[in-house]
Amino acid sequence: MQKKYLMLVCAASLTLGACQSNQSKKELIKPVFTADDMDLSVKPGENFYQYANGGWMKQHPLPDDKSRFGSFDLLAEQSKEKVKTIVEKAAAEKGAEGSLSQKIGDFYGAGMNTEVINQAGYTPIQPLLDKVNNIQTKADITPFISELTRLQLTPLFYFYASADQKNSEMTIAGIYQSGLGMPDRDYYLSDDETSVKLREAYVVYLTKLFTMTGNTEDDAAALAQTVMAFETQLAEASNTRLENRNPHATYNKVDVDGLSQMAPQFPWKAYLKGIDMENAGDINVNQPTFIKEVALMYEVESLDTWKAFLSSVVIRKTASYLSDDFVNANFAFYGEALSGQKAMEPRWKRILESTSSALGEAVGQLFVAEYFPPAAKERMDNLVENLRIAFGQRIDQLEWMSDETKTAAHEKLAAIRVKIGYPNKWRDYTELKIDAASYLDNVLASNRFEFAYEMGKIGKAVDKDEWRMTPQTVNAYYSPVGNEVVFPAAILQPPFFYLDGDDAVNYGAIGVVIGHEMTHGFDDQGRLYGKDGNLQTWWTDEDSERFNSRTQILVDQFNQIEVLPGKYADGELSLGENIADLGGLAISYQAYQNAIKEKGNIADIDGFTDEQRFFLGYSRVWAQNIRDKEILRRTKTDVHSLGINRVNGPLPNLQEFYDAFNLDKAAALFISPEYRATIW
Ligand SMILES: [Zn+2]
């Protein structure tokens, strides 16, 4: 939901070799950009992405268990290896009951114990399925939906805690659409061949799940059809991703009575009581149309339909924690059919993932102690402040922004909070009980613990120290309502960040990421929030118009990019991220120029000038191989552009790029100055 959208997912690639060159001019150590990683048969102006990354892509063919694999993913893999060391050490320690190492070790150990898991089959979810079977009346449905909410098995909508978008100091409750087993409403509603085939595959998958949990083939097939029809109705009432990018339209604050009036057929009070939230206070309903439809369906749909749907939710959402037959069926649909993955990731990686997610900050503490040098934080602090200065300079130079708005922009820029590495204080896991007996029980215990933790924030002041990502995550984010940029420890590694690296590459890589995140505070979404994170207008109408006409150029440019024969990128869906990439490049380039002024140019390294290395450093971060199905899925659902387009898309808008590589209008990537987008 909201927090997901904010994530940057600036990916990375490794492989550059240890870049070093220290700020001083002569101490160059290892080459970063070698002919091996590049494709020198392609001219930079023809296809810069291929030129910069061709060799890397060849050396890193897609593993069968990946639908996309890039330098970002490679870094994530390395982070996983580190987490593995930590988790295995915790498991070997056999820590005292209730200690973090006991919890981490037992969670992982139970997940790896396939003998016990396979013997159990689906018996771990039998109690939940029995509850569905015992539903006698409509009134019995509600407590069960409450129970699934507590277990974070999310049957229809998310019930979550978040800062009030118009009073960012306070945490309130929110309700966000959900209920679909496929990634997006389009999968249910589009007529294209791929969508039709995927719908068939989804019904096959559901049928299989029902068969495997004791239904006859015929009954299972009928149940699957029922679920498909039910979800299609939910899909029709769901907002599109584009609609969900409008924070004004998704801000509809009501109280419990207001909610009951908005969608009267659903017994909200009983539901809220079931999750101990009868005194929820303010609730933001993100998608009122959807919630009204859910309430209507509650009244209209038969008891059997509801039972079929709720059973499917229980089985589908737990399948990956059950015996191999369930795990395989789950993979056949979500991995193979949806993303084109050829093989599953090895078990240890999957279990590590769920351990790291269930005990995020417990694992994070150990990760930071082991792998995050304090010097990295220092250098990052310095980079971030330089980026802030450069962004300020660029705001002053903007032709399209009024002086009045510039003043407010400076205030907002100055107010951005920065979090680097890991939280000041760690989560307390005392109340979470984990044991070695049942993997699924541990997962559900952790979900329940997490939900209670989230609910505990509602009606209270926002905790400004909190992190929405763990330190071991290779990613970063900007939160508009917190007006903060956050960089977990795990992203502060090559090829994003070279602790001892030269400035050109660091500004091209992590510098652009920092700039990228900062511009999110000022993009088509972020500009709707003021310096304190409240949804408010601080731009003049003229500023908005001029901004929109500039960003429209970017929308048009990306709409023309063919991602597969006959399929085009979605310039509107990806606009915020594309603005951030272009802005991040411009701002970081400026910051780099500022740094050069102070320190002087470094001599060429690896045969490339500083300016060239800046752009090569940026490009390497986005090197990736990807399957066609994954291209389609991401084009529909991901607000980020594909790796190739994050490079070849923004760069031709920058004169500095042409200058660095001596490109003229003969270059295939060339865009005439009058058609270039310049925003920040
Ligand atoms: Zn972003």
Residue 11: predicted pLDDT: 29
Ligand 1 centroid to Cα of residue 423, in Å, is 21
**Confidence bin at 596 (pLDDT 50/70/90):** confident
Question: How many Å apart are CA 205 and CA 638, to the nearest integer?
Answer: 24
| DSSP labels, 55-66 | HHHHHSPPPTT-
CA neighbours closer than 13 Å in the CB half-sphere of residue 351:
22
Q: How far is the CA of 641 from the centre of ligand 1 (A)?
A: 10
* Three-state DSSP class for residue 487: strand
Kindly list the distances between the CA atom of residue 304 and the CA atoms of 264, 298, 458, 599, 671, in Å, as whole numbers in the listed order.
Answer: 22, 12, 35, 73, 59
Query: Rounded to the nearest whole angstrom, what is the distance from the C-alpha of residue 592 to the centroid of ligand 1?
Result: 21
Cα 485 to averaged position of ligand 1 atoms, centre (Å): 11
Gyration radius of the chain over CA positions: 25
Whether omega for the bond prior to residue 495 falls within 30 degrees of 0, making it cis, is: yes
Q: Which residues are catalytic?
A: 517, 581
Ion ligand 1 nearby residues (CB, 5 A)? 8, 577, 580
pLDDT of residue 10 exceeding 70, the answer is no
Phi-psi region at 352: left, alpha or beta (left = phi > 0; alpha = psi -120 to 50): alpha
CA of 84 to the centre of ligand 1 (A): 28
Cα-to-centroid distance, 340 and ligand 1 (Å)? 25
- pLDDT for 30 beyond 70: no
Distance between Cα 274 and ligand 1 center (Å): 37
Q: Is the pLDDT of residue 17 over 50?
A: no
What one-character-per-residue DSSP string does 413-472 give?
Answer: HHH-EEEEES-SSPPP-TT----SS-HHHHHHHHHHHHHHHHHTTTTSB--TT--SS-TT
242-266 pLDDT, tens digit per residue, is 899 899 999 999 999 999 999 999 9
Grouping H, G, I as helix, E, B as strand and the rest as coil, residue 284 is strand
Mean pLDDT, to the nearest integer, of 347-374? 94
For the record, the structure tokens of 131 come out as: 């509850």
* pTM summary value: 0.85
pLDDT band at 110 (very low <50, low <70, confident <90, very high): very high
Average pLDDT, the chain: 92
pLDDT band at 278 (very low <50, low <70, confident <90, very high): very high
The letter for the amino acid at 137 is: T
C-alpha 235/C-alpha 202 separation (Å) is: 14
Which string of DSSP letters, residue by residue, matches 573-621?
A: TTHHHHHHHHHHHHHHHHHHHHHHHHH-PPPPBTTB-HHHHHHHHHHHH
pLDDT score at 2: 34
